[in-house]
Structure 1
Amino acid sequence: MRSESALDEPGLTGRGKVQDRVLSKLQYGLMSGIFVPGQVFSLRKLAATLGTSPMPVRESLSRLVASNALEELPNRSVRVPRLDATSLAELFEVRLHIEGMAARIASANVTDPWIDDLAAINERGRTAHETGNMAEVLRANQEFHFAIYRLTRSKILLPIIEGLWLRCGPTMYFSLGSPGLWDTSFHIEIMKAFRQADPQAAEAAMRRDIAKTGDFLVAQARSAATSGPLADLLSVQSEPWTE
C-alpha cells in the first residue's frame, strides 16, 4: 500500500471524518490483502504514514479488534489474526453462499457499460499478474469483486461481505504464487453470465472463483508447517505498517 499524505484535506476536516478515513484505509489494507496474517501494527508508524495523530489510529484499531478483524496480544500490540485450516474452510464456505448470492442479485442491475468497466478492472489485474505486480493484482481483485457486490444495492449483504473480507483478505497474499490460480478465467465466466443476463450462471461462476482460491489456501494451511506459502507468516513484513 502506498504511503498517504495528511488526511486533513478539504472536506475531511474534523475528528470524525479523519477517523472514518483512517478506518477506511485500514479496512482496505485488510480486504485487499496488503496486510498479511501475523503482521503486527505499529501505532507510531501508522500515524506517521497516514499523516494524523495516534488517536484516530488507536480508535480505528480498537474498532477492528472489536469486530474480530484484528486481535490484541497480551502486550497490547495489535496484529492480523492467523487463521487455521478449519477457520479458513468455514470462512470460504460462508463466502461461497453469501457472495454467490450477491452475484445472482447483482445480475439484475448490470448494464453493458458497467460490464465494460468490470472487464477493464479484470484486464488490469491480469496485466499486473503478467508483470509481477502482485500488489496491483490484489487491488484489482478486490475492486472487481466489490464492484459486483455494490451493484446488489443491498444494505444487508454488503456489510456481511465486508466483514468476511476483513477476515479473509489477508490470506490472499499467500495464493499469489500458485500457478494458474490468478488466470482470471472465472472472472471472465462471471462477466459472460452478466452479459447473458443469467443470474444462476453468475452465481455458479462466482462460487467457482471463490472455491478455487479457498481450496488452495485450506490445503496449504493443512500442509506441514515447514512447507508451503503459509509456513512462515511472519516472513513478509510491509513497512511502514509494522514494527
Structure 2
Amino acid sequence: MLRPIETKSMQDLVHDQLSEALMAGAFRPGEMLNLNALAQSFGTSLMPVRDAVRRLAADEALVVEPQRGARVRVHTAAEFAEMSELRAELEGDLTERAVRSLDQATRDALLERLEGLLRAEDAPSDFLRLNRDFYFALYAAADRPVTMRLVRSLWQQVGPVITLYLQTESGSDAMQRLADFGQALRSAQAKNARDLRCEQIMRPSAGLLSQYDKVMGTGRQSAVDVVLKSIEVGSGSARRPGRKRRNT
C-alpha cells in the first residue's frame, strides 16, 4: 500500500544534523559554535540554525550566549552521574522489552549490525556511529516513543563527553561486554541483556566520574581532540559542522 512521502523542513534537517553530531561526540564540552559558520556549512540562512540551536538549548544540550552564538553545555559531575543513572534505567528497560519482542528476522539484522560494531574497535568515529545506530535500532523494537525521546535527549547531553569513555577503560573489556551482549541477544535472554546494557553504561561512567573534574577542566580538550581528530558528520557518519578541517 502506498503511503505519503514524508518531508522535513529545513529547520528539522539542520536540527537533526546538529543533534546527530552531539550524540556522536563531534563537539567538545564547552565548545563555542559559530552560527554563521554553521549556516555556511549547511548552505542555509541563519534562521534554521538559530531554530535548531534554540531547540537543542531547550533540551539542555546547548547554551545560547547572546552576541556570541552558542556553546555546548558543560554538566557537573553530579549531573553527569544522574544522567548516567537515568540512561541505565531507561535504556535497560528498552533493551529488555525489545529483546522479548524481536522476531527472528529483526534479531538477525541486529546481530549483523553488532558484528560491524565489534569490527570497529580501532576506529573511534565508526565505533561511535555504529554504537548509536545499533542501540537505537534495538530500542525501536520496544515501541516506546516517549521513552525514546527521553533517551535521545540524554544522548545529546552526554554525547560531547561519551568519547571519553574510550579513555577510562581498556578496549578489550568494552568489547568483551559487547560480545556478551550479543550472546544474550542471540539467545533472547532479555533480563541478561538488560543487566549487560546497564553495566555498559554505568561502568565506564564510574571510571569517567573518578576523574571528571580533571577531564572536564584543563585535560579535557587534549583528550577529546585525540579521539575526535578525524570525525565527520554526514551520510550517517560524524563531522563537525561549522569548523574548518585541519590539513594533515
**For the superposition of Structure 1 and Structure 2, which TM-score range results when normalised by the shorter chain?**
0.7 to 0.9
Distance 1:112 1:180, change over 3 A: farther
**Residue 185 of structure 2 corresponds to residue 198 of structure 1:** no
Farther off after superposition, 205-214 or 169-178: 169-178
Q: Separation in 2 of the partners of 1:195 and 1:240?
A: 38
Letter in 1 for 2:32: V
Match of 2:219 among 222, 232, 240: 232
**Residue 92 of structure 2 corresponds to residue 78 of structure 1:** no
Matches within 5 A, 1:1-243: 17-73=9-65, 75-130=67-122, 133-181=123-171, 183-222=174-213, 225=214, 228=215, 231-235=218-222, 236=225, 240-242=241-243
Identity %: 28
Task: Output the TM-score relative to the length of structure 2.
Answer: 0.80
Distance 1:213 1:35, change over 3 A: same
Q: Are the counterparts in 1 of residues 118 and 178 from structure 2 also a CA contact under 8 Å? A: no
**How large is the Cα RMSD of the aligned pairs?**
2.5
Distance 1:214 1:179, change over 3 A: closer
Q: Secondary structure at the match of 1:79?
A: strand
Alpha-carbon deviation of 1:240? 4.6
Q: Separation in 1 of the partners of 2:67 and 2:220?
A: 20
Alpha-carbon deviation of 1:125? 3.1
Deviations 1:24-69 (A, max 9, x none): 1111111121222111111112112112221101110011112211
Q: Are the counterparts in 1 of residues 169 and 204 from structure 2 also a CA contact under 8 Å? A: no
Q: Which runs of 5+ in 2 are unaligned?
A: 229-238
Distance 1:217 1:187, change over 3 A: same
Farther off after superposition, 153-162 or 179-188: 179-188
Letter in 1 for 2:84: F
Q: Secondary structure at the match of 2:26?
A: coil
Alpha-carbon deviation of 1:79? 0.8
Distance 1:96 1:230, change over 3 A: farther
Q: Which runs of 5+ in 1 are unaligned?
A: 1-9
Distance 1:47 1:166, change over 3 A: same
Alpha-carbon deviation of 1:151? 1.2
Distance 1:185 1:111, change over 3 A: farther
